[in-house]
Amino acid sequence: MSVKDKNIVIGICGGIAAYKITYLVRSLVKAGANVQVILTAEAKAFVTPLTFATLSKNPVYSDYFDPHTGVWHNHVDLGLHADLLLIAPATANTLSKMAHGGCDNLLLATYLSAKCPVMCAPAMDLDMWAHPSTQDNVSRLKSFGNIIIAPTSGELASGLSGEGRLAEPEDIFQTIYNFFSDALPLQGKKALVTAGPTHETIDPVRFIGNHSSGKMGFAIAEALQRLGAQVVLVSGPTALKTPDNVQQLHVISAAEMLSQVEHHFDDADIIVMSAAVADYTPIEVATTKIKKKEDVFTISLRKTTDILATVGARKSSKQTLVGFALETDNELENAKGKLARKNLDYIVLNSMQDQGAGFAVDTNKVTIIGKDLNKIHLPLKSKMEIARDICEIIVDHQLIISEQS
């Protein structure tokens, strides 16, 4: 599969980089795509509708209604029938409106109506791109599942040099091509990944938690996305940046993580449960700060719902389920027991005895055990490299599932 016969809507915003989209439209049409262009009013100050109508071989839309022809441009129809909506260049103003539901032109109305995947290629001056409000808007759009084609560094229209330059047309074309390509082994697959700790509230200022940084889960989410999967990442509190083109859902407690996992589980082909979920949570949560009075203080705890066992019980034969086990003693036997009890396809064993492995570090050393009890020992590597190794095993398992279907 490629871009041939794909319906691609390209929204062009008002910025000097708009001229570069002429090359992109030409390349897409040449590759067999059906391209429909929407220009914002500001974009027409930089490029003309006639140019894009000539290149796309389709009329160019800008307003809801054309007074000359009497034609109503239906934004719902545009959004429903597109295979992909690309907004490029995406200005800071448009990104902000997209992130917060603004709808004051045809392009934004089409975006809000779109049922297809959405890509954004931002372009702006380096200080605008680096501004916290812009970065917050980008993070918000990623959380919606929008794909961000990151700007590059280089000479900008202001005369300054830095990050904010529109990705080159050939790179945007390649991103689109890869998106529709069968070459990526997990293209068309949906993945659910959990990461980080959970915090179980004691009172308004205290909680029970653990030392998980989320780095392993985030690396797995990124690796799966690069292999073509559509990834939902459910993460407890971390300081990590959301991987590009991954939808991150933020949770705090084990109960919140369970709710999100159950909501997304049935749609997922691949489930990797790497979060360090609390085993116990306070029975009662104080509404005000508990004062330090007693020398010995007792909190009554109850077990949290075992998320991994819950999803293992409802796993279908078409899903790949991977769990993690962090052990301090009798590691191998404990991991094998967990593998069987929770109906996992694979379990990734961490030992706290291994130097450079475990929580809050950038490296890991693991043993991957399959349902057949075959073991793969991976030496100390970066967590990103470990993530790629785990994902290779997932790809192979998904291939076996496809062959058996």
Per-residue burial over 272-281, b if 16 or more Cβ lie within 10 Å, else e, is bbbbbbbeeb
Output the known binding site for CTP.
279, 289, 324, 338, 342
- Which residues, in sequence order, are CB contacts of 161 under 8 Å at separation 6+? 126, 153, 154, 155
Selected catalytic residue, list 7, 210, 334, 343: 210
Task: Name the token pair of 296.
Answer: 């010995």
Q: Are strands 346-351 and 363-370 parallel, antiparallel or unpaired?
A: antiparallel
262 Cβ neighbours under 8 A, 6+ residues apart = 310, 311
112: its two tokens: 């809000």
Calpha distance 323→193 (Å, rounded): 10
Are 367 and 346 spatial neighbours (Cβ–Cβ below 8 Å)?
Answer: no
CA angle 276, 148, 273 (to 5 degrees): 15
| Residue 93 annotated as catalytic | no
From residue 79, give the alpha-carbon distance in Å to each of 108, 114, 198, 331, 342: 10, 4, 38, 52, 42
Alpha carbon 372 to its chain centroid, in Å, reads 31
- How many Å separate Cα 124 from the centre of its chain? 23
Q: What sign does the dihedral 162-163-166-168 (CA atoms) show? A: positive
3-state secondary structure of 384: helix
**Cis omega (within 30 of 0) on the bond before 89?**
yes
* Whole-angstrom distance, CA of residue 188 vs CA of residue 234: 20
Q: Which residues are catalytic?
A: 210
